[in-house]
Structure 1
């Protein structure tokens, strides 16, 4: 299963808010064996949202969109997603009923924009807030508030599954530039994916089948200085 993540918000692009949602979702999907192929941030503009969602839903099994969900002037994600999937936005009575019964809101407290979803969408109820999310044509739309997004994702987490790679990290204090020969050799010798991540030390990631990964990690560990 392949997925793309789209985070929406001018505040993310301006650096006013740290984009923790993308990292959290990518980790959750990867843990479930889903290959995350794209992570993209777009502004609060309907055409940008529609264009990216439309492109990604054609290429991947699922598109997860967070942010810009609600009734305020800059909450245009639902409008953009509706345009991407060719649906009208309509008041969703299932969402409205849930908010007035389970959610504890009076009907006159709910702005029509709060429960406006693409026609025919499946509602994702917001147990940590107000604005509902939805699933439509392989696109999962969730709020941007992390607690709300995370709770909503957990309600659909079982819909994301794949074959998980076995992963081993080997950490070394050697400079990455001096590891090139051994990185090349381990990739040629073993059927594994190798990633090299420099920082204070270099973390080398091996991913793939269990036996191949363990063998590759052992081979590499024997040839580098380890932490």
Structure 2
């Protein structure tokens, strides 16, 4: 379990992007990168990302693995009306649940599609037993949640709209990040960063070199849910490296 420096539990998340088209390169996924940014801003750490195909057994196996280990598991894709949209069936299998027609969702589908409604579209209302519908203003079709799995579509505009409708459910204590841009290479600072990490275990310290196109050599990030610890670590780093080597901070 992830905890804050004060010992408070931190809810973690994972995301599964589903679709043969993602693995083949026919479609470029943008949902995962966007979701990482959103969860980061909300203070929820995204700990795992999986990109898998449309095979039912792989979908079931993936959710059976991730759901017990994270508080929230997001899915992206595989919830449309075609033969290769098997996400809900895979989630049902992961939890050992039957699929059942959700009459509330079926009614909303009929209302949204009107005369275009057919059995293929209504199959989108076949949900794992016990699934919840999260209805919100501006969503003609609600978000489906199966236990701790939040089921989202693959189409980026609808993916974002549905997540934004429920985003406050995932807000936690934020992570504070400081960035130091240095005129030093990684080699000379590696041991000092390692010593600093031992001194401040509650602060995650990262080092990212750049070789062209920028005015700095290394970006060092320091982050924690404890803002005072971050400031102490920043002061210690400036002292260890020499303030003259810090081009700027952010």
Same fold (TM over 0.5): yes
Give the stretch that moved more between structures: 176-185 or 147-156: 176-185
Q: Give matches, 1:1-227, under 5 Å.
A: 1-101=11-111, 103-106=112-115, 108-109=117-118, 111=120, 112-124=122-134, 133-190=143-200, 191-200=202-211, 201-208=217-224, 209-221=226-238, 223=241, 224-226=245-247
Aligned residue number for residue 3 of structure 2: none
Contact 1:168 1:205 in 2 (8 A): yes
For the pair shown, which has the larger CA radius of gyration, 1 or 2?
2
| Cα deviation, residue 132, structure 1 | 5.8
Q: Is the CA contact 1:115–1:131 (under 8 Å) kept in the aligned structure 2?
A: no
Question: Could you tell me how far 1:189 is from its partner in structure 2?
Answer: 2.9
Q: Post-superposition shift, 1:106?
A: 3.0
C-alpha distance in structure 2 between counterparts of 1:127 and 1:76, whole Å: 27
Structure 1 residues 115 and 84, CA gap change in structure 2 (3 angstroms)? same
Which digits, 9 at most, give the CA deviation of each residue in 1:55-91, with x for residues without a partner? Answer: 1111111111111111112111111011112211222
Deviation at 1:13, TM superposition (A): 1.7
Alpha-carbon distance between aligned partners in 1 of 2:27 and 2:60, rounded to the nearest angstrom: 23
C-alpha distance in structure 2 between counterparts of 1:175 and 1:156, whole Å: 43
* Structure 1 residues 106 and 122, CA gap change in structure 2 (3 angstroms): farther
Summarize the Cα distance change of 1:68–1:125 in structure 2 as closer, same or farther, 3 Å threshold: farther
Which 5+ residue runs of structure 1 have no aligned equivalent? none
Q: How much has 1:206 moved relative to structure 2?
A: 0.7
Comparing 25-34 with 43-52, greater Cα deviation is found at 25-34
- Supply the distance in 2 between the matched residues of 1:169 and 1:159 (Cα, whole angstroms): 28
- Is the Cα contact below 8 Å between 1:127 and 1:148 reproduced in 2? no
Tell me how far apart the structure 1 counterparts of residues 123 and 110 of structure 2 sit (CA, whole Å).
Answer: 15
Verify the 8 A CA contact 2:197 2:204 in the aligned structure 1.
yes
- Show structure 2 runs of 5+ residues with no match: 1-10, 212-216
Q: CA deviation at 1:131?
A: 7.0
How many pairs does the alignment contain?
A: 226
- In the TM superposition, residue 109 of structure 1 has moved relative to its aligned partner by 4.0
Distance 1:197 1:122 in 2: 42
TM-score, scaled to structure 1: 0.88
Are residues 15 and 29 of structure 1, via their aligned partners in 2, closer, same or farther at CA, if it must alter by over 3 Å?
same
